[in-house]
Amino acid sequence: MTTRHNRLKAVCLGGGHGLHATLEAMRLITTDVTAVVCVGDDGGSSGRLREEFPGLLPPGDIRKALCALASENARKKGIPELLEHRFVSAGPLNGHSLGNLILTAQWQDSDDVLQGIRNIQNMFGVDGTVLPGAAVPLNLFADVEDARTGKTLVVRSQRRIAKVTGRIRRLRVVPADPPVFPEVVEAIESADVVTLGPGSWYTSLLVHLLAPGIRRALKETDAKTVLIMNLVPDGETTGLDERGQIESFREYADGFVPSVILADSHLEVPDSAVPSGSVLVRERLASRNQQGMHDVVSLSVGLENAIDAVS
């Protein structure tokens, strides 16, 4: 572990594999890490559990965050692999991960969602704090412009939005003003550094900005805030170059301006795209072996340099 910033309180917002990478990188910098996880996933195991248990928060991205923050002792015992175990069968368990089922069991036994997550952290030796980005599951809707016809279609559900081939013009969530746990607001407002991304641009990143409680906390915090750009485009950024992605972020941010925009050195982020009040930091962040994936150690170095880039 590096030591330059080991007393920092860090909060990382995101979802899926992007948040997992950021958490793995941040835990190399500091031991005080809080993950704020998006709760709009309705695909795969999480989607099936949401259908079977109405009102259930999708557990998949929360499970990934728990695995990323597993202690060294837990890693030696194989806890992340156990939680990530995915059943293969000809029956109803097929495709479910064990961690998702354990989270569902905890939440069924208790009405206290956060206590259920803490129980799992204590049982399995998971460091830091994991918090859902909203207190209720979110339903996502996107207005998508068809590239051939120019017509705008409404696409419902995270799993479908992630696969669109047209340009997303607007993202919405239901409920429109989702309740946010006070612990999330307190974590952001008391943090030393807050990261956003990388990950699916709309459904893992911008979705957090649709919660007014989180937007207000980001605008009011004294923390250094770091927007981590994706390495490669995906379906959700169809029609958007790096400038377009930053502009779309500003559209949803409601006046919140990140302190730093952290981008891989190969990305073409023009200086003119960087909003006033932000600093652009370019670092080699990509894995040399896995295309489109962040290298955890390089990302941790990039994050440290991003933190140092602003006073």
**Structure-token pair, residue 60:** 């998949």
According to DSSP, the β-strands at 32-37 and 224-228 are unpaired
The runs of H, that is alpha helices, within 60-112 are 60-68, 72-76, 79-84, 98-109
- Choose among 122, 126, 102, 103: nearest CA to 113: 103
Angle in degrees, CA 65, 70, 261, rounded to 5: 45
- Choose among 99, 98, 113: nearest CA to 55: 113
Please provide residue 259's backbone torsions phi and psi, each rounded to the nearest 5 degrees: -65, -40
- Residues counted in the chain: 311
Q: What is the pLDDT of residues 239-269, one digit of tens each?
A: 899 999 999 999 999 999 999 999 999 998 9
Coil, strand, or helix at residue 288?
coil
Distance CA 38, CA 208 (A): 7
Paired strand residues for 139 = 174
**Which one-letter amino acid corresponds to residue 34?**
T
**Which one-letter amino acid corresponds to residue 202?**
Y
Distance CA 62, CA 15 (A): 8
Give pLDDT, residue 1: 46
> In the CATH hierarchy, which fold is given to the domain comprising 9-39+133-137+173-308?
Rossmann fold (3.40.50)
- Choose among 195, 176, 174: nearest CA to 33: 195
Coil, strand, or helix at residue 246?
helix
User: 262-295: string of b/e by CB count within 10 Å (b at 16+)?
Assistant: bbbeebebeeebbeeebebbbbebbbeeeeebbb
Please provide residue 245's backbone torsions phi and psi, each rounded to the nearest 5 degrees: -65, -45
Say if residues 52 and 16 touch (Cβ distance below 8 Å): no
Give pLDDT, residue 4: 67
Please provide residue 155's backbone torsions phi and psi, each rounded to the nearest 5 degrees: -110, 125
Give the residues of the chain that fall short of pLDDT 50.
Answer: 1-2
Percent of the chain with pLDDT over 90: 89
